[in-house]
Amino acid sequence: MANLKEVKERINSVVSTQQITKAMKMVSAAKLRRAQDKIVQMRPYSQKLTQILNNVSASSEGASDIVFAEKREVKNVLIIPVTSDKGLCGAFNTNIIKAVNAAISQRFADKNITILPLGKKSFEAFKKREFKLVPDYYQVFADLTFDNVRNAAEYAMNSFVAGEYDQIYLVFNEFKNVATQLVQVEQFLPMAKEDSAEEKSTAEVDYILEPSRKYIIDELVPTSLKIQFYKAVLESNASEHGARMTAMDKATDNAGELLKELRLMYNRSRQAAITNEILEIVSGANALEAS
């Protein structure tokens, strides 16, 4: 039977842990609400901007004059894994690392790989690997603003135009709901045009572009790409808080179950100790009577 003092210490320890997980769950819930509002507001804007861009690029010469749509032989690939700065969020970060490793081994085994990590967890995971690392933007979540994210997006875009990378991929968790986050491996550059039935119909529409098609493309394409990049980061941010909230909720429930077992163990140990004391008293009394 376990020592009463040891069981009591374990109970106190679990109670303290449960209080921490409850507090972390509440903090994550508050952060999730704000992050969810941001991504819900961003999605329609991003989708509409992409639709406009597709319509414009399909209206005349196509995408041949768009520098960000240039396709070339793939030799150098930039992968941008988006993770969190902190842990305690279940398999959130692990899934991203696994997805990057799987993509490298299955799709880019013979390519020159460069990693641009966003988030401390991805930076720590890849800094000791053999890949070339771009460590300038991994602290983006310390101050998550469009301006800070735009710096990373502009680096990727300028590097693609300069020919440093032939393909650029974003790997992030897409937010579905509090309990569900889907890992996405999304091609960022060159721009991948979707051939949907809706887009085929819009390609037949004759557009009047003012002041000029070139001016609109030069302004619209970079803006659309930066918004797409920012949207992926916001998706990851909302997913992180949802994953942490779920993980802390489960941890709190597990702590409750463990407390039940420990308190039952404590009561049994206490009852056994009382019974032993009674037996010792009775045995002592009987010994006195016999003498």
SS3 content of the chain, % helix, strand, coil (to 5): 65, 10, 25
Q: Which of 40, 30, 99 is nearest to 241 (CA)?
A: 30
Structure-token pair, residue 125: 């995971």
Distance CA 170, CA 50 (A): 17
Q: Which of 193, 156, 163 is nearest to 78 (CA)?
A: 156
Candidates 7, 14, 66, 89; catalytic one = 89
Q: Position 184: which residue type? A: Q
283 is catalytic: no
Q: Which of 74, 93, 72 is nearest to 171 (CA)?
A: 93
Whether the Cβ atoms of residue 49 and residue 224 lie closer than 8 Å to each other:
yes
Distance CA 124, CA 138 (A): 10
Point out the residues that are catalytic.
Answer: 89
